[in-house]
Every structure is written in structure tokens, then in C-alpha cells.
Amino acid sequence: MQRLDRPDPPLLFTVAITVWQREEMLPHAIQTVLRQTYPRWEILVYSDGGSRLTRETVAGLDAAIPIRYREVRRRPKQWGNHLRRLALEEGSGSHVCFLGHDCLLYPSYLETHLANLEGNVDGLSVVPVDYWRKNRLDVKQPLNPDMMSLHDGEIDLLCIAYPRRLALEVGCFGEDMQRLRYADYVSFDRLRQLTSPVYRPGPTQASHF
């Protein structure tokens, strides 16, 4: 029997990094996770274009860094959605944040999600990020502070901490989404029907290049 006055354990975040061809950028992405001010996280790295360089890059990292690496067969025109589904299925965290190899987190990224969630394992958190295009800052996302009115292209995958239990329950990045380029938005839309997104405008927490 659990004591009612026992505090809940702090949330654990799964940071899932997907890699495609640009393996040389992977160490930079990982380094931004290591520098997080909130210490409870795990790193999962997935590649559907695995190469010797990818394997050597992961193997060459400090053995003390808790990274799980997996290569899977590439599925053309599936935009990495099968990798994101694997992260939801295999992660241990209450929430999954998806980080591309061409993305960088700022040190307070996870801490900001944590503040939004306030211990809610089924909470849906959104933080502001910069979206770059051809070495120029294009837009800041989400484009609209009203989370219920956002449409495809107005919120980046990097903005969101997906509640893992609910995401699996509603089929986020599931088979019906494998060929959707906007599967991240459809997944977000399904979740916001069940749990109100929490977003507080403030400093940018990450950059997507």
C-alpha cells in the first residue's frame, strides 16, 4: 500500500533523437541534452539510415552517457514517424520530447516543460522554439498562443512534450499516420482533445535548423 503523504517521484523525460544522414551533427544535439538544468532524462537515438559513421559516433561517446541506440530499416516516404512510434513504445519517461539531429535544446528546455506540467504525467506541455530556414531565423513557434486553434505548420514537433501513456492510447505516430508529413500535428491534435495544452509565452527554449 502506498502512503498517501508520500511525494510523487519527479517526472522523467525521454529525449528521442532521430538521425538521417547528418551524423556529424548528432554529438551537438546530444550535448544540449547533457547540459539540461533538469537532470531526470534518458536519451534514445534512432536511425533509419544507419551507417558506419552513425555507429562510430555513438560508440565514441563517453560510456557514462546513458544512451540507447537502435537502427531500423528505412521506410521511404514515412518521414521518420515509425521511429517516433518506437520511442513512445520503448521510452521509460512519462513524457517524450522529439529532437532531430539538426535541433539544439537550450539548457532550460526540460525545466520549462516540467514547470508547465506541474507533476501531471498526462499533461501536454508546449514551449516556444525558433525555426530556422537556410541559416536565417524564419519563425518562432507556436505561431499562436491559443493552443486549441493551432493548425498544421503552426507548431513544431520540438515545441511539444508528448505524454507517453496518452500518446500510445490515442495512436500517436501509429500505422494510420506513417505516411503523413504532418503526423506530429495530428498527434498533437488528438492529445489536445483529451488534455488541455499548457503553454506560457517566454524565452525561446530550442532551435530547429
Segment 16-73, tens digit of pLDDT = 999 876 777 888 899 999 999 999 999 999 988 767 777 887 787 766 677 888 888 7
pLDDT for 157 equals 94
26, 101 in Cβ contact below 8 A?
yes
Q: How many Cα atoms sit within 13 Å of 45 on the Cβ side?
A: 23
Grid cell for residue 60: 565514441
Residue range of the domain that includes 147: 13-208
pLDDT for 3 equals 34
Is residue 153 included in any domain, yes or no? yes
Is residue 71 included in any domain, yes or no? yes
Q: Which CATH number covers residue 102?
A: 3.90.550.10
pLDDT for 204 equals 97
Grid cell for residue 3: 502512503
CA distance 172 to 178: 10
pLDDT for 4 equals 40
- pTM, two decimals, is 0.90
Q: The sheet that has 124-126: what strands, in order across it?
A: 67-71, 41-47, 13-19, 95-100, 160-163, 124-126, 197-199
Domain count for the chain, please give it. 1
DSSP state of 158: G
Is residue 43 included in any domain, yes or no? yes
Is residue 163 included in any domain, yes or no? yes
Is residue 2 included in any domain, yes or no? no
pLDDT for 57 equals 78
Is residue 5 included in any domain, yes or no? no
pLDDT for 147 equals 98
The CB density around residue 76, as the number of other CB atoms within 10 Å, is: 7
Is residue 8 included in any domain, yes or no? no
pLDDT for 7 equals 46
pLDDT for 50 equals 64
Going by C-beta distance under 8 Å and a sequence separation of 6 or more, which residues neighbour residue 9?
A: none
Grid cell for residue 5: 503523504
39, 10 in Cβ contact below 8 A?
no
pLDDT tens track, the chain, 209 positions: 333 444 456 799 999 999 876 777 888 899 999 999 999 999 999 988 767 777 887 787 766 677 888 888 766 665 679 999 999 999 999 999 999 888 999 999 999 999 999 999 999 999 999 988 766 677 899 999 999 999 999 999 999 999 999 999 999 999 999 888 899 999 999 999 999 999 999 999 999 98
| Helix, strand or coil, per DSSP, at residue 69 | strand
pLDDT for 27 equals 86
pLDDT for 200 equals 96
Is residue 117 included in any domain, yes or no? yes
